[in-house]
Structure 1
């Protein structure tokens, strides 16, 4: 068996790929395999990638030939690649493009590669109901309204479609990035932001202009969105997770682009106006009328001739919005997220409806380059009082989790951490409102929940940003798209069962790079000898795979 000492990859027969981080050729190997292999784990010494059907189809959809994938593996392999791995990549890659969606005369066409495939898929229950008249042995007419759900069905059947039907260009929009922001500071796109936009837009190629950019929290995904808008130069609809995020997008657009105020509109419960750039929340779009069961705000998709739709936190995209496939699929689509993890396992829906992953970068890589803060993660295990431990033992499983999460002894630990981290900008975040209100009473810190009026939220966030208050208590509203760049300590008192996505998003609240270069601190409080320990282990999986380690501290049972 030949052996190439300098090479960094060990390719295994289960299609996992190990990258030796300290190899002199590690960077070249990483860049070679990242387009078609999913990064699964990236701890200190060995990073693990997995070649899956979805990862291969992502690469094919982004324009990468199968031959380049196999050549990349062979040229960077420390040991000879198992031939079965090359055969499997060839087999998976060849499936992409066996079905093609093209634009016909007033409708779409689905073209099959051969007659057996046409017969197979026309008898597939999920696919068949979306097909119209059969134009020929290999061609079916398709209602444009079914474009997205057909792609979902074909992906589930194992024959992902190559979508060549193109996009509606949308009304033109003149927009450029400023060299100096309105606030007076100069800025440039970071190298990875420029690379991400180039990978997304691909100079307007037929297969470019749609897809997902994956960047760590705090790495400037909004700037990628602004730069994508300048590439497309068309009316843009931005969908995001909260009204707070809508306001942040507006601030960034006014500060860093040449758009005037009247070119930007907010579509919300407070205002139903549209403009060349319109900002809206997923919540208002997925609102269903109790009277007729309809989604009254879906008309926003056809309110203007959008050339680009940006989906912020795209992994949260609610299922009802998938149904507006005619309007969604006809536009260029940009998804932005820190992680494509969905606890329901429907990452494939994002691929089918938004597009392939166009760009990704490991969290720790940006940390080393100073673009996000280093983070120290600590799990503190807190015992329960004997009588509460008995209550826990006698409760059903669902009740057990809440008993553990709301362990009163966590209050003393929170106060101890506040003393330890005095002088820092601290966020306390949790799942249960009663628990958060108790912490607020004991600490005197203000609390923000879903019921806090938007003007009050904005006021408290502004006070935190400018140092008038040094701590905030947040419910789940703090999980996403919260621009508090000076926060450097987060105390998590409870969470949503074992959500890896939530764990990553919460750490992201403190990952903006610090002026003094100091590390962020992320504390998770977990009740000892309860199911919360197991849920915590699951929550931490994604971050552990990104290379973060948790120190464990067990509080002495004598805590009062």
Structure 2
């Protein structure tokens, strides 16, 4: 870490700017003079006031400190070179950070410990890699500005064996020590090590607490006879078989993640060699998985999560069960394992509605694995590793039954582990902690190309549909807006504007898909399409024998769509944020120049849904533009287009 970074600690130097008086007025000023104002507290005052330049009076008012003492401390910061002073006509002196004069190419970190936020300008790759170990990238403006938030779950899953090791990583990332932030992180680290599950010498599972107090005040308040048989000691409970996952979830929700130290079966050994080289970040994912024994690989489509999962298989070298949402993905997984590992096709089995073969590596659908009549086949085999593909589904009532399958190692894969029912924390309790690289880092390194994403607000194709929308209610409004006939003309226009592109058109409604496919004279791939027909169409698209497909929501996760240069989302804006991620991600591959157009009917609820659904992609570093199309008298809206573009979404 270089030493040319500017001072930015918001917590060193003692008294917090927001501390309350203890009622003793006589000691306030003396204490303030002793402790002083830090540069980061000045930054916080600037943020509260909404200005980069402040008078001493404004600083005193914002930080609730005496004016005279503040003036002295500002003079001290100026002598240290942290602040500059400027005399102006409207006020004797205004103050501003010295670093404002030299922000063009320097990395700068500002810490806000009370909010547990870290704002970084122009961070280098080392800083971002260190921050990713204990903080969540909450926002990236696409112009070298990043906002990280340190959440409890980020500390709980930090890949360190001790708090001291975590503290060293924090200091490397921040350039110095922030006592207030470290104190909070230490408290969360302690919470993450209060409970553990272990195997008793007689074979049953024990929940063990660090102290009788935390066992009595937390675990025994949250758990009942459905979860535990009886106490063994003041700090140990005998766990009912099969309730381990529920215990982990309940204590996680209470703010106490459980360390899983059970002696689970390692499964039959299976020699697996990876036939391809992992990228540096993929190897980091595998290394972190190897340390923890569990986790969720989180990365954008195209980042190679499946190949990284095979790297985890090679590390474990045990028989592996892969759970997927559909039989199409099961087939694609089987092909990929045969292609990228040393395993023979005879060692790879699929278990779903099409075929039922259990082999050393078995790929099964969640639905089949959760059925009672099939469960024994999976329970009887000792798996060394269970992989949950598209693991954002795991919290759902149908899919979570598959998490009862016990294995020493559990691995999830997801481009966007978010759920509209806010149950995403269950993903990490049932499978493992998140492991990933922020999207912007992959864009910057060129591993994944950032697509150009544009929301286009399309006028109604005719007054009849608009009037029908106005009088409709509830979900009928979504359906009418989605099927706006003006979108067909817009799709034609976009395709003609990119004549050499391979394109995918996404729709949410079968009727709309059939109408669009008929208008374009191309196939419509949906859940009703026979499996053999799906395979044929997708292979033709991959081999460049076909350059356009209309796809229903079956393409979001149920199948591995080939890479496209152009994606047009014609409907589906009432769906989830995850759906927006999946559809935008169909163009995220190493080759650049990809385009994503999202069509929303102007003046309908689709406008708000489009912004909301894609907003989190902007926070991941993608640039999201907007354009409003104006309908002209003859129905051709091309010449009257309003170029109202923005990258703020």
What TM-score results when the alignment is normalised by the length of structure 1? 0.89
Q: Structure 1, residues 109-156: CA drift from partner, whole Å, max 9, x if none?
A: 111222222222354244563111211111110023111111001111
- Say which of 178, 202, 206 aligns to 1:109: 206
The alpha-carbon distance between structure 1 residues 128 and 534, as it changes in their structure 2 partners (threshold 3 A), is farther
2: distance between equivalents of 1:458 and 1:128?
Answer: 50
Tell me: CA distance 1:76–1:280, structure 2 relative to 1, closer, same or farther (3 Å).
Answer: closer
> Are residues 1:307 and 2:384 paired?
yes
Task: Tell me the CA shift for residue 360 of structure 1.
Answer: 1.2
Contact 1:488/1:511 (8 A) holds in 2: no
Cα pair distance change 1:510/1:152, threshold 3 Å: same
* CA deviations over 1:502-543 (Å, ceiling 9, x no partner): 1111111111222xxx41110100000111111111111221
Match of 1:327 among 388, 402, 405: 405
Three-state SS of the structure 2 residue aligned to 1:320 is coil
For 2:629, the equivalent position in structure 1 comes to 555
Partner in structure 1 of residue 485 of structure 2: 408
Give yes or no for contact 1:8–1:77 (8 Å, CA) kept in 2.
no
Equivalent of 2:183, from 75, 87, 93? 87
Structure 2 residue corresponding to 1:348, chosen from 420, 425, 430: 425
Residue 7 of structure 1 contacts residue 76 of structure 1 at CA under 8 Å; is this kept in 2? Answer: no
1:189 counterpart residue number:
278
Q: Decide which of 51, 55, 60 is 2:150's aligned counterpart.
A: 51
Aligned residue in 1 for 2:196: 100
Map 1:132-143; keep pairs closer than 5 Å. 132-143=229-240
Give the corresponding residue for 2:507: 430
Distance 2:378 2:408 in 1: 10
User: d(CA) in 2 for partners of 1:227 and 1:102?
Assistant: 27
- Give the match for residue 291 of structure 1: none
Structure 2 CA distance for aligned equivalents of residues 7 and 364 of structure 1: 16
Change over 3 Å in CA distance of 1:234–1:406 after alignment to 2 = same
Residue 439 of structure 1 deviates from its aligned partner by 0.4
Deviations 1:441-478 (A, max 9, x none): 10011111111111110011011111121111111111
Partners of 1:459 and 1:311 in 2: how far apart?
A: 27
1:11–1:79 contact (8 Å) kept in structure 2: no
Partner of 1:243: 327
Query: What does the per-residue CA deviation read over 1:264-291, in whole Å, with 9 as the maximum and x for residues that have no partner?
Result: 111010212100110112233345xxxx
Inter-partner Cα distance in structure 2 for 1:196 and 1:402? 41
Kindly tell me: are residues 233 and 280 of structure 1, through their superposed partners in 2, closer, same or farther at Cα, counting changes over 3 Å? same
User: Is the CA contact 1:8–1:78 (under 8 Å) kept in the aligned structure 2?
Assistant: no
CA distance in 2, matches of 1:434, 1:425: 23
For 1:198 and 1:523, how far apart are their aligned partners in 2? 37
* Alignment partners' CA distance in 1, 2:507 and 2:522: 14
Query: 2:130 aligns to what?
Result: 32
CA drift at 1:428: 0.5
- Give, in whole Å, the separation in 2 of the partners of 1:372 and 1:312: 20
Pair 127,505 (structure 1): closer, same or farther in 2 beyond 3 Å = farther
- Is residue 459–residue 486 contact of structure 2 (8 Å, CA) maintained in 1? yes
- Superposed CA offset, 1:213-264 (max 9, x none): 1121011111111111111111111111222211111111112222111111
Q: Secondary structure at the match of 1:509?
A: helix
Q: Within 5 Å, which residues of 2 pair with 1:83-232? A: 83-104=179-200, 105-126=202-223, 129-178=226-275, 187-202=276-291, 208-232=292-316
User: What is the CA–CA distance in structure 1 between the aligned matches of 2:182 and 2:224, rounded to whole Å?
Assistant: 30
Go from structure 1 to structure 2 and tell me whether the alpha carbon gap of 1:507 and 1:57 turns closer, same or farther (over 3 Å shift).
Answer: same
Q: Is the 1:315–1:339 contact (alpha carbons within 8 Å) kept by the matching residues of 2?
A: yes
2:563 & 2:491 partners in 1: Cα distance? Answer: 20
**Partners of 2:214 and 2:182 in 1: how far apart?**
24
For 2:630 and 2:147, locate their aligned partners in 1 and report how far apart those are by CA, in whole Å. Answer: 37
Q: Which runs of 5+ in 2 are unaligned?
A: 1-37, 40-81, 83-97, 100-105, 637-649
* Number of the residue aligned with 2:43: none
Correspondence 1:270 to 2:354: yes
Aligned-residue CA RMSD in angstroms?
Answer: 2.2
Give distance in 2, aligned partners of 1:496 and 1:133.
50
- In the superposition, relative to structure 1, how do residues 494 and 144 fare at CA in structure 2: closer, same or farther (>3 Å)? same
For residues 24-51 of structure 1, give each alpha carbon's deviation from its aligned partner in whole angstroms, at most 9, with x where no partner exists.
Answer: xx33322222112111112223111111
Greater C-alpha radius of gyration: 2
Aligned to 2:109: 9
> Aligned-pair distance for 1:64?
4.7
Structure 1 residues 126, 390: CA separation in 2 closer, same or farther (over 3 Å shift)? farther
Displacement of 1:381 after TM fit?
Answer: 0.5
CA contact (8 A) 2:573 2:606 kept: no
SS at match of 2:609: helix
Matched residue, 1:292: none
- Alpha-carbon displacement from aligned partner over 1:356-412 (angstroms, at most 9, x marks no partner): 12x311223222222222311111111123332232222223222222111111111
1:363 to 423, 439, 445: 439
Mapped contact 1:236–1:309 kept (Cα < 8 A): yes
Give aligned pairs, total.
530
In the alignment, which of 591, 595, 614 is matched to residue 521 of structure 1? 595
Matched residue, 1:538:
612
SS in 2 for 1:479: helix
Greater Cα offset, 459-468 or 341-350: 341-350
2:465 to 370, 388, 392: 388
Distance in 2 between residues matched to 1:322 and 1:337, nearest whole Å: 16
The separation in 2 between residues aligned to 1:233 and 1:211, in whole angstroms, is: 17
Question: Structure 1 residues 480 and 326, CA, compared in 2 at 3 Å: closer, same or farther?
Answer: closer
